[in-house]
A and B are shown apart, each in its own frame.
Chain A
Amino acid sequence: MVNTPLLQVKDLRIAFRTGAGPVTVVDGVDFSIDEGETLGIVGESGSGKSVTCLSILGLLENAQVSGEILLRGENLLALDRAGLRAVRGASIGMVFQDPLASLNPYHRIGWQLVEAIQAHGRTSRRAARARALELLGQVGIPHPAQRLDDWPHQFSGGMRQRVMIAMALANHPALLIGDEPTTALDVSVQAQILELLARLQDELGIAVILVTHNLGIVAQIADRVMVMYAGRVVESGSIWDIFRESAHPYTWGLLSSVPSLTGPVLLSDGEARLRSIRGLPPNPTAMPSGCRFHPRCGFVMDVCRTDVPQLESADRPGHRAACHLPPERRTAARLEATVSGDG
């Protein structure tokens, strides 16, 4: 290995302390992201995707986190609070779903940006203000000089999310993590934010981790995708591996249950029904044995109930899946699971 990845997560385990003992919500997650790359983390509620990201930033309260989170080779989990703060602020920026909850309503936008800039570097107030202005322009806020002294409530949802992105970029991070950054926005505004993220990535060469439940967004902007289910990674690979040659029944289920502007329509008589994944995601306090997806899987075998499948190389380098289904059966099974009726 000549190139160290920007971020490498090894055997990450996260358990929350509860009255009834620790509950494991992330169980042995491994992944990495290279400089300038966009990784989409996909999964449904409770899959552990957001918690994984919060742990990278050391933002989890009341949780036991183990494993390694290596940022350019330095293990963030081994740092103390101050050390983590220094690394984090200078290298990683984060954008959340709800920008209103992340902005202080009692301070002007400019003041908050200046705070973020000064928190992680020796910058004069004047220089920080100039940088704040530059950032607002960079994220596409019209007339930034006039908006600098506005209050958060004077911005629309989309503009607030731009401010959050500006704040996340304040200290030239190498990695930007977005946790459902467009989920609360209307589609027309979502399209603007996605366009902005793509442009920033081109201009600044930053790596992006985008956590989302929306496969359409992933298809649009990710280079690689990691699919999580019930606290584990079930599949990871390039965007093409996942959308064209996926090797895991859960991914097949996700892909065929997402309503789309292309593909089949349900219409009246149940012939072209939207495929759904039967059953419900498991409760973290009572995870199924073996493969956690087995109770919902259409291809379940005896081994799935007892043995945890390992994330193993599928067909191509970089494409990995955790499934007991023999490789020679995968293509046929995928067609059966994803192509509706008329083929």
Chain B
Amino acid sequence: MADGAGRMTTAGDGQALLALRDVSKRFAVGRGLSRGSRWLTAVDGVTLDIVRGETFAVVGETGCGKSTLARLMVRLTPVTSGSVLIGGRDVTHEHRRALRPLRRDMQLIFQDSFSSLNPRHTVGAIIAEPFRIHGLVPRAERRANVERLMELVGLSAASYDRYPRDFSGGQRQRISIARAIAVRPKLLVCDEPVSALDVSIQAQILNLLLDLRRELGLSYVFISHDLAVVRQIADRVAVMYLGRLVEVAPAQQIFGSPHHPYTAALLSATPVPDPEIARHSRRVVLQGDPPSPASPPSGCSFHPRCPRAAERCATERPQLTDDGAGGLVACHFPLAPGESLEHRAGADAAGSAGPDRPNLPISSADEGGQ
């Protein structure tokens, strides 16, 4: 699905499976009398479209709002402002009952498969639950349907009558996936689906998601903190920082030539399982911690940690704008292709930052991929 450039966050032609328009979510912080006196903006003015058949990844660190965004997408949490469109229809203010048929089209998978599966129900009953809720499959046919689903996700149909505790983490994630695809959704929103798994199992689940995408024509929203995992599966990537999208671009561009300094820094900080690259690449280590969303910095919220920050960044918030290369970036001083992150954009004239200085430990071997 990597048809490259041109795909903006807003397709605007009703083609989008799911669209968010300037969506924000605020939570009241504090307790008792002070409740409501302070607000935490978890998601701040996010606009994006999920196109049919694509895998759209949302990447960011703890507290950036990516999980809240996932919940807003499937209307598990109501938005504070902005609108949510499913198949072009504004469902922001739809009631639960009206949402139910639409919910079938969008399913959510969580990181922790243990707490999302009822320990007292058999695997068969868990996977059959959506059939019951949505009245989809006659009772007599449920078992056969569930067994087919179990085999589709790589579980033995013989374990139909076993309980979640009898399964390993990877197998439980397969159960969650089987339950999610039981209603033949169009979109799966996966919130850190492989983060709790060992690497050998992680690869199995990623391969399963890829197979299902091909076989069932699914689209994915893939929420993750791990860029290396995202690189394996995403067509487009949105990078989030403190509730806002800071860069949205085709995967190839994000991993090959990121424009936002934060994206570049995340890539640089991701450990590479190759001693030669790990030891000989220049690493840009961001100082400090991500700020609290309860008291975001002025201007660009990344500016206190940004190696390129200039005065303007502290006062003026950059808007997400066309980066001229098929993506969107919210930065006053975006990186040019091949430009090193250590280079201060404001501090010196262009030209000295030659394109012969690759800033990241990324070989060009990932281009194309086949």
Contacts and interface: CB of A to CB of B under 8 A. Distances in A.
Interface of A: 44-45, 156-159, 186-192, 194-195, 213-220, 239-240, 243, 253-255, 257-277, 280-281, 342
Q: Most chain-B Cβ atoms within 10 A of its Cβ — which of A189, A253, A268, A342?
A: A268
B296 to A, nearest CB: 16
Given A45-B198, A213-B199, A274-B232, A192 B287 contact: yes
Nearest to A283: B168
Contacts of A213: 198-199
B199 A240 contact: no
B207 A276 contact: yes
Contacts of B289: 156-159, 189
Contact of A188 (B269, B279, B361, B365): B269
Nearest to A47: B198
A69 to B, nearest CB: 27
Interface residues of B, number: 58
Nearest to A212: B271
Contacts of B272: 216, 219-220, 260-262
A243 B269 contact: no
Interface in B185-243: 198-204, 206-207, 210-211, 213-214, 225-229, 231-233
Given A159-B289, A272-B370, A262 B270 contact: no
A189 B198 CA distance: 22
B200 A44 contact: yes
Interface of B: 1-2, 61-62, 168-171, 198-204, 206-207, 210-211, 213-214, 225-229, 231-233, 255, 265-275, 277-279, 283, 285-287, 289-290, 305, 361-363, 365-366, 369-370
B226 A259 contact: yes
Nearest to A190: B269
Contacts of B201: 44, 276, 280
A284 to B, nearest CB: 13
B278 to A, nearest CB: 4
A199 to B, nearest CB: 11
Q: Is the interface of A mostly helix, strand, loop or mixed?
A: loop
A243 B286 CA distance: 28
B273 A191 contact: no
A216 B278 contact: yes
13 contacts: A159-B289, A186-B62, A191-B283, A219-B273, A259-B228, A261-B272, A261-B361, A266-B206, A267-B370, A270-B211, A273-B207, A281-B200, A342-B370
B286 A191 contact: yes
A270 B61 contact: no
A262 B363 contact: yes
Q: Most chain-A Cβ atoms within 10 A of its Cβ — which of B201, B279, B290, B365?
A: B201
Contact of A277 (B200, B213, B283): B200
Contacts of A254: 199-200
B278 A259 contact: no
A281 B362 CA distance: 32
B88 to A, nearest CB: 26
B206 A261 contact: no
Contacts of A243: 273-275
Given A158-B289, A270-B211, A281-B200, 13 more contacts: A187-B61, A187-B225, A188-B285, A218-B273, A239-B275, A253-B200, A254-B199, A259-B229, A261-B361, A261-B366, A262-B363, A266-B233, A268-B1
